[in-house]
Amino acid sequence: MKNKIIITGGTGYIGSHTAVEFINEGFEVIIVDNLSNSDISVLDSIKSITGVKPTFENIDLTDKNKTSIFFESNKDAVGLINFAAFKAVGESVKMPLQYYHNNLNILLNVLEGMNRFGIRNLIFSSSATVYGLPDCFPLNENSTTKRPTSPYGNTKKIGEEIIEDFSKASINFKAISLRYFNPIGAHSSGNLGETPTGIPNNLMPFITQTALGLRDELKIFGNDYKTKDGTAVRDYIHVVDLAKAHVLALQRLIRNEVLENFEIFNIGTGIGYSVLDVIASFEKTTKQKLNYSFASKREGDVPILYASTSKAKEELNWNPILTLDDMTESSWEWEKKRNS
């Protein structure tokens, strides 16, 4: 019998890559998603890569009743990976109540369902945004968390606090929060990747869409940061390496190797790359010339953000292997394929 796991938000960008890695490791995957920001065809893409089409349930997890019914019929699951959430930073500033309502009610309903039906192991999709505007680097898991700069970010910080409180109050429940740095890249098959709606806010899809001619030019936000070339530095992590961290984290919970009922791991490479580094890698791997110009800084952006990843390496035995070149090249292959 395969171990069954539930992936909420499993048709989304990170969720779908994570579903692939769990299936490859022999798990039975049940995806729950309301398709508010993803497409049902992702299930066929997962099948094209793994040979297995995951079971799919179209449920709005803010609906407590439907969520409870779902948990009752899946109470044999060994764990749950929670990706279901709104994630657009700028939109969350304009619509804070929708973000708090959606992201926190989903989490509460999931926790109540897990509690009621005895599902013990949770992986929470968190973000480096919980460090707010940090003042020292690299960031380790004990670095002070601060008020995130957006309601989206705050739902991640509050989400972690809710899970921590619940893990203290419950005897059997255990959780790991993975704080992602900047996930980019796509599956090497070219069948899965990021599909932002409208004009992308994030760097990588903006680069690939500009190179394809869908956007006129990339505006680089800021060129006078105190960094090696004046552009902002981030810790970009390939989505496939990131997906694998979820498998290792769940196995750690299942084997009860945790030191505490609630653990946190940074998931990045530990290497900071500037915006110009990313562009140089993109131009090198894809042989495309990117149209770009410098613009003023974007409000809320921090100059530098990169992780200390030694805890994930030592305790999860997780080692990211894909390079920045792998990230830019696979993003380009995906962008071309989905627009062909």
CA 239 to chain centre: 8
Q: Site residues (CB under 6 A) for ligand UD1?
A: 89, 127, 129, 149-150, 153, 182, 201-203, 206, 218-221, 232, 234, 275, 298, 300-301
Are residues 149 and 161 in contact, defined by beta-carbon separation less than 8 angstroms?
A: no
Specify the residue, 38 or 182, whose C-beta has the smaller distance to ligand UD1: 182
9: closest CA among 52, 42, 47?
42
- 123 to 15, 74, 97: CA distances (angstroms): 12, 17, 25
Residue 234 Cβ vs ligand UD1, minimum distance, rounded to whole Å? 5
Are residues 303 and 232 in contact, defined by beta-carbon separation less than 8 angstroms?
A: yes
Residue 206 Cβ vs ligand UD1, minimum distance, rounded to whole Å? 4
Neighbouring-strand partners of residue 266:
179
Specify the residue, 43 or 220, whose C-beta has the smaller distance to ligand UD1: 220
Residue 326 Cβ vs ligand UD1, minimum distance, rounded to whole Å? 17
Percentages helix, strand, coil for the chain, rounded to the nearest 5? 40, 20, 40
Specify the residue, 117 or 221, whose C-beta has the smaller distance to ligand UD1: 221
Residue 93 Cβ vs ligand UD1, minimum distance, rounded to whole Å? 9
Specify the residue, 78 or 203, whose C-beta has the smaller distance to ligand UD1: 203
Q: Which residue is nearest to ligand UD1 (CB)?
A: 232
State the catalytic residues: 152
Are residues 11 and 38 in contact, defined by beta-carbon separation less than 8 angstroms?
A: yes
Tell me whether residue 317 is exposed, middle or buried, using C-beta atoms within 10 angstroms of its C-beta: 0 to 12, 13 to 18, 19 or more: exposed
**End-to-end Cα spacing for the chain:** 40
Residue 63 in tokens: 């609906």
Residue 201 Cβ vs ligand UD1, minimum distance, rounded to whole Å? 5
Are residues 15 and 23 in contact, defined by beta-carbon separation less than 8 angstroms?
A: no
Single-letter code of the amino acid located at 261: N
Single-letter code of the amino acid located at 301: D
Specify the residue, 174 or 179, whose C-beta has the smaller distance to ligand UD1: 179
